Amino acid sequence: MSNELEAFLEYISVTRALSSKSVEAYKSDLLQIEAQTGSKLLCLNSEKLLSVLSNYSNKRTLNRKLSAVNAFFDFCYKQHFSEKTDKFKFAKIPKLLPKFLSYEEVKRGLLLIDRTTWIGARDYALILFLYASGTRISECLALRGEDIEGEWLHVLHAKGEKERIVPLAKVAIKAIEVYKSMMPFESEYIWLNYQKNVLSRISAYKITQKYLGISPHILRHSYATSLITGGADLRVVQELLGHSSLVSTQIYTHIQKENLKETLEAYHPMSNFHN
């Protein structure tokens, strides 16, 4: 590994305070490019670099590697390690509307759950919690009892190792309390399996798939969509979801625009006017 690359990794780890996973991803992408070209990054010309990167047919993978390269070159230029000012454009990716469930669809799924057992009470509470909090499944499964204070949820295990505080619906809190009262053992963690171990991602997936036919992440989209169609500001949704950039939240503007269009057609007197 070159001294420049080591310095870059230290910079994004210490100065920019990126998560260890993000730093490792940058390192992996940049070292992979060097291995494929057989040359250090700063020794590569644009043609050679783009020739190698063009082998990636998946545009999201390509853009991730381009992002790493751009960040590295920008760092080296600002630190006077190089005179390269190349900045590669990202590949265009069609903006797809995220799949989501309506409130009625979530309710129908919840009605299928037998809540007379503690496992059923857990499944019911888990689905309600995911829909009411918009948390990532990793954040949800890392939840401890102390992370819920009154009607507020402290998300301590968020992406990027940052903390955020979000309000939690009373119905979700009540469901968790009922589930915990039925649970045959105690633990600092909330979501457990029958062996007293923290629920796995695969188990959580099986639960939401069984009752709703979706992955847990779709409930995060459903949470955001419900907020947007209800009139929430995009910046507020960004804060609640824990997005570091508004760019990640802007995918929901398509939903916002469609909702405005439907509202206009339903209520504006000119919507059905014909010459």
Tell me which of 159, 164, 180, 254 is the catalytic residue: 159
State yes or no: is 159 an active-site residue: yes
Tell me which of 124, 220, 221, 223 is the catalytic residue: 220
State yes or no: is 157 an active-site residue: no
Contact 235, 253 (CB under 8 A): no
For residues 166 and 153, give the distance between their C-alpha atoms in angstroms, rounded to a whole number. Answer: 5
What amino acid is encoded at 103 in this protein? Y
For residues 227 and 250, give the distance between their C-alpha atoms in angstroms, rounded to a whole number. Answer: 13
Closest CA to 128 of 168, 166, 167, 165: 168
State yes or no: is 217 an active-site residue: yes
Tell me which of 122, 136, 157, 221 is the catalytic residue: 136
Q: Which two tokens stand for residue 11?
A: 């910079």
For residues 109 and 213, give the distance between their C-alpha atoms in angstroms, rounded to a whole number. Answer: 9
Q: What is the DSSP string of 27-54?
A: HHHHHHHHHHHTS-GGG--HHHHHHHHT
Place of tokens 């309000």: 167
Contact 140, 191 (CB under 8 A): yes
State yes or no: is 115 an active-site residue: no
Angle at which helices 103-110 and 118-133 cross, to 10°: 170
Closest CA to 243 of 219, 218, 220, 213: 220
Residues with catalytic function: 136, 159, 217, 220, 243, 252
